[in-house]
Amino acid sequence: MNRIAGKPRDDSLIEVQCGGEDNNGCQLESFAEEVPGNGHNGVDKQQQSKDSVFFRDGVRRIDFVLSYYMDEKDKDADKKQERRKVYEAKLQECGLELETEDKSESEDGRTCYVKIHAPWEVLATYAEILKIKVPFKVNDIPDHRDMPLSWLCTPFRLPTHVMHPEPDFFTSPFDKSKVDFFLIDNKDTFFPPSTRNRIVYYILSRCAYQNTASQQNDKKGIKRLLNNGTYTAAFPLHDCRYWTQSRDPNCENERYSLYRYWAQFFRFYKEQPLDRIRNYYGEKIGIYFAWLGFYTEMLFYAALVGLFCFIYAVTTYDQSVWSKEICSENIGGQIVMCPLCDKKCGYWKLNSTCNSTWQSHLFDNVGTVFFAVFMAIWVTLFLELWKRRQARLEYEWDLVDFEEEQQQLQLRPEYEIKCQKRRLNRITQEMEPYLPLTSQCVRGCLSGVTVLFWIALIIASIIGVIAYRLAVYAAFASAMRDSPTNKIQLVGSVITPQLATSVTASCINFVIIMILNFFYERVAIWITDLEIPKTHLEYENRLTVKMFLFQFVNYYSSCFYVAFFKGKFVGYPGDYAYMFNNKWSGLRNEECDPGGCLIELTTQLVIVMTGKQAWGNIQEALVPWMKNWWVSRSARNHPESLYSRWEQDHDLQNFSQLGLFYEYLEMVIQFGFITLFVASFPLAPLLALLNNILEVRVDAWKLTTQFRRPIAAKAHSIGAWEEILHMIAVFSVVTNAFIVAFTSDMIPRLVYLYAYHPGNEPTMQGYINNSLSIFNISQIPMDNQPEAGENPGWFNSSDITTCRYRDYRYPPGHEKEYSHTMQFWHIIAAKLAFIIIMEHVAFLVKFFVAWLIPDVPSDVKARVRRERYLIQEYLQKYELEKLKVQLSVNNGACTCDAPHPTACTPVDPRL
């Protein structure tokens, strides 16, 4: 529990008594004194500091601000004014204190601001309702977490006063009747600003803006008032400008500290001040940055191993016998390959793919298998160690047992408004709103059908991209045969029809992904609202499942196609397979790049992954900055005007309740890229690490400088994202096993090395010739033959009678002509055996590591038990002291006529 110092003031002048269902009805008992400074009272605005976060009296803190425009041309102006009048009166009935800034005093001359202050009685009442934990004793358990060689981490550490601005306390849920039980030095600063704005928003979300005579139950809540334009914004204030400290001695300057130690890029190598983030923005945002920081730290180890695997591939290229055979003029230069497409593709020599073979070797080698197994262990360590880190944060941030509170107390106002029916809660014995089962089923079915429709739309778009790949390959092959790019040194040999097709298709697919994502985000929010979830947690979990399911198909489907379908169903020269099994479509199923499908999967992965990350960073940083620059341009042109704290924050961008959701979604999609397909690209964790180092500071910068202060919210974990990460972790073992087995050439090489090599000693010599089947050119149908002029100059049909293709089939003239050889079935059996062995080994290691590492550290368990014990002990002592005081008061007030001992007469304990 962190307490923030501020200027003390007199005790509250109002008392709040909350009654009615769900504690939503509030009555005000006013004292005789008038609230000082309410209204203008002739106070000169110019005397206030630009960074003032207090009312005009300089005493009462501004906990929340509402803004609205006074536009006489608005036809609904009178209705909006009436709503505001009723709503603000209801807020005052609930005990909140208001102060209005007229439009004439605002910087733009048309915006009015309503400043809200929550006095002690209101804060104490709702702190008890929300069961907010507050300190009652300083933590007396010593911290023995010093790690060996911790001095190595000194350059990455922040000063202690930055990392831990307040001492650690034992805490207990607040009880208004036991105020003296808690460590209250100053009532004004006992509840930090994040807790204060959370309480005020709780009231704003449930306060009606209609007269009590009306029977419409849905006319309540600040969200509806924002949606219908009655108010334009509702937000808590930043405590100062981010680039300089406030001149007000009562200002905490937390925003400045966060910007100085956290939100600047040159601090990228420093740890994050998580306690300060939690104190300022709330536990929900704090948990996100804790998870993002931990994920980035763990990526360092994965990136290091991936880089070593890549360096190993570069250094072992000269040991690749099959690559040398392909590039050899005597072997690869003598092998004539069959055309890769109908009519527009000619015959070609195998050594023309020398460069793509070298590229493929960088990612298709023994290190690929090792790295795939390593990542299966890494992802388990990451998830298990995060559980421990999360358990420690739950305790340190008073989030233990918070889930039950969330379910019972944090009902969404929309649920309370739209659910008209009531029923008795068997536990609380109170009437509560509920949604009938029939309505739940109808809404759920409609939601499911909508999600399936959009997934079908993604699949249709992927089929369209596949059709593009099939149709354009022949065009590229024909156009690039005599292209000037072929004569360019170094680059010319790399630009091939396969590469051009793969890159352009990947770019088109990325554009389609972003377009579909833009529209589906709005559809997902709409159908989730339609379901009317009961709690905020349930709402976020449902939206999370919908969005991730869509994004999973949207981002990964093209990679799955390249990894598991492309080149697997092409047939052979005499009997090619076509798209939709229709030869007349002219779309012959595409074959893999001569270097293998793994290099194409790498290309697809790099384009989609890096493109998404680059676009995300531009969208997150540049767009808010440009919007804020445009909105605040008039203030920059009039520096002599007073640009108050609430006006500065009003001109910033709004951080929506789903803002954090999109941050998680971005990182989880990235997590899928580096785990599901990491066998094809060992450098993926390195790219993710570099992106995340930037991501942490970009998110911190935009949150601190470009957005209004978010409403503080509690969260004890990363929610449904944790289960999604576990699902991806399990699925990644399967996908990587299949990539190594069916997408790479690792298994065919091993089968040749140990079962089909020539001579007595295992060798890879002759592998290329063994892996290519023979076809009689005269048996190729006319529809598949190259057109005149498409064949290269060296091709002579009278001298060259056969061509080769990638497969394991019997040669022409054999009794089983063009059917699969026994080696083909041996390779299939070896691939299936490898998948089974790799999966079982990986899962066995995963489960063993998960069992070995406890979810909760032992010292955290001890602290939790110690805190629960102290709560019971201290409460018992507290009640006994109160009882003694009460008995002494009663005994002192008792008068007895008779001298004889009575029940009121103190008795000597010695008798």
**The CA-based dihedral angle spanning residues 882, 885, 891, 892, taken in that order and rounded to the nearest 10 degrees:** -150
Q: What confidence tier does 601 reach under pLDDT thresholds 50, 70, 90?
A: confident
Cβ 224 vs Cβ 214: under 8 Å: no
In the predicted model, what is the mean pLDDT of the chain?
A: 81
| Mean pLDDT across 233-257 | 86
Indicate if the pLDDT at residue 373 is higher than 90. no
H or E stretch including 804? Answer: strand 802-806
Give dist(CA 733, CA 729) in Å, integer. 7
Q: At what angle do helices 366-396 and 858-893 cross, to 10 degrees?
A: 10
Look at 479 and 96; give whichever has higher pLDDT: 96
> Which has the minimum average pLDDT: 281-295, 787-801, 803-817?
787-801
Q: E strands along 294-392, which residues?
A: 336-337, 348-349
What is the pLDDT at residue 847? 86
Question: How many angstroms from the chain centroid is the CA of residue 627?
Answer: 24
Look at 300 and 554; give whichever has higher pLDDT: 300
Q: What confidence tier does 165 reach under pLDDT thresholds 50, 70, 90?
A: confident
Look at 152 and 569; give whichever has higher pLDDT: 569
Q: What is the pTM of this model?
A: 0.84
What is the pLDDT at residue 878? 82
> Which has the minimum average pLDDT: 21-25, 360-364, 737-741, 851-855?
21-25
Q: What confidence tier does 200 reach under pLDDT thresholds 50, 70, 90?
A: very high
> Which has the minimum average pLDDT: 135-139, 397-401, 417-421?
417-421
> Which has the minimum average pLDDT: 272-276, 587-591, 844-848?
587-591
Q: What confidence tier does 404 reach under pLDDT thresholds 50, 70, 90?
A: low
H or E stretch including 635? Answer: helix 633-637
Q: What is the pLDDT of residues 721-735, one digit of tens each?
A: 999 999 999 999 999
Indicate if the pLDDT at residue 13 is higher than 60. no
> Which residue in the block uniquely carries the two structure tokens 């006063």?
161
Indicate if the pLDDT at residue 631 is higher than 80. no
First to last CA, the chain: 49
What is the pLDDT at residue 784? 82
Q: What is the pLDDT of residues 31-59, one digit of tens each?
A: 333 334 444 444 444 455 666 889 988 88
> Which residue in the block uniquely carries the two structure tokens 């196609």?
561
Measuring CA to CA, how many Å separate 581 from each of 33, 36, 587, 602, 784?
87, 83, 9, 28, 16
Indicate if the pLDDT at residue 215 is higher than 70. no
What is the pLDDT at residue 258? 94
Indicate if the pLDDT at residue 478 is higher than 70. no
Q: What confidence tier does 627 reach under pLDDT thresholds 50, 70, 90?
A: confident
What is the pLDDT at residue 693? 93
| Mean pLDDT across 594-619 | 81
Q: E strands along 217-351, which residues?
A: 233-235, 336-337, 348-349
What is the pLDDT at residue 33? 36
- DSSP 8-state secondary structure symbol assigned to residue 812: T
Pairing label, strands 772-776, 802-806: antiparallel
Cβ 447 vs Cβ 527: under 8 Å: yes
Q: Of the spans 76-90, 420-434, 627-641, which averages the highest pLDDT?
A: 76-90
What is the pLDDT at residue 892? 67
Indicate if the pLDDT at residue 590 is higher than 70. yes
Give dist(CA 139, CA 1) in Å, integer. 11
Q: What is the pLDDT of residues 813-865, one digit of tens each?
A: 889 999 999 999 999 999 999 999 988 988 888 888 888 888 888 888 888 88
Q: What confidence tier does 586 reach under pLDDT thresholds 50, 70, 90?
A: low
DSSP H helices, 47-76, are: none
Q: What is the pLDDT of residues 559-576, one digit of tens each?
A: 888 888 888 888 888 888
What is the pLDDT at residue 468? 86
| Mean pLDDT across 754-768 | 86
Indicate if the pLDDT at residue 901 is higher than 50. no
Measuring CA to CA, how many Å separate 792 from each of 205, 347, 484, 491, 796?
75, 7, 16, 21, 9
Measuring CA to CA, how many Å separate 882 from each of 72, 579, 879, 885, 890?
60, 84, 5, 5, 12
> Which has the minimum average pLDDT: 314-328, 349-363, 628-642, 812-826?
628-642
DSSP H helices, 740-821, are: 746-751, 767-771
Token pair recorded at residue 247: 């001149």
What is the pLDDT at residue 640? 42
Give dist(CA 239, CA 252) in Å, integer. 7
> Which has the minimum average pLDDT: 164-173, 178-187, 286-295, 470-479?
470-479
Q: Of the spans 31-40, 136-145, 526-535, which averages the highest pLDDT?
A: 526-535
| Mean pLDDT across 568-589 | 78
What is the pLDDT at residue 775? 93
Backbone angles phi, psi at 629, to 5 degrees: -60, -40
Cβ 672 vs Cβ 596: under 8 Å: no
> Which has the minimum average pLDDT: 169-173, 288-292, 728-732?
169-173
H or E stretch including 98? Answer: strand 97-101
Q: Determine how many CB atoms are found less than 10 A away from the CB of residue 738.
A: 19
| Mean pLDDT across 619-639 | 73
What is the pLDDT at residue 116? 95
Q: Residue 810: is it exposed, middle or buried by C-beta count within 10 angstroms (0-12/13-18/19+)?
A: middle
Q: What confidence tier does 593 reach under pLDDT thresholds 50, 70, 90?
A: low
Token pair recorded at residue 245: 């400290």
Give dist(CA 845, CA 135) in Å, integer. 43
Q: What percent of the chain stands above pLDDT 70? A: 85
Give dist(CA 44, CA 42) in Å, integer. 6
Q: What is the pLDDT of residues 671-712, one digit of tens each?
A: 999 999 888 889 999 999 999 999 999 999 999 999 999 998
Characterise 148 by phi-psi region: left (phi > 0), alpha (psi -120 to 50), beta (else).
beta
Q: E strands along 165-265, which residues?
A: 169-173, 233-235
Q: What percent of the chain stands above pLDDT 90? A: 26
Give dist(CA 236, CA 53) in Å, integer. 10
Under 8 Å CB-to-CB from 439, ≥6 apart: which residues? none
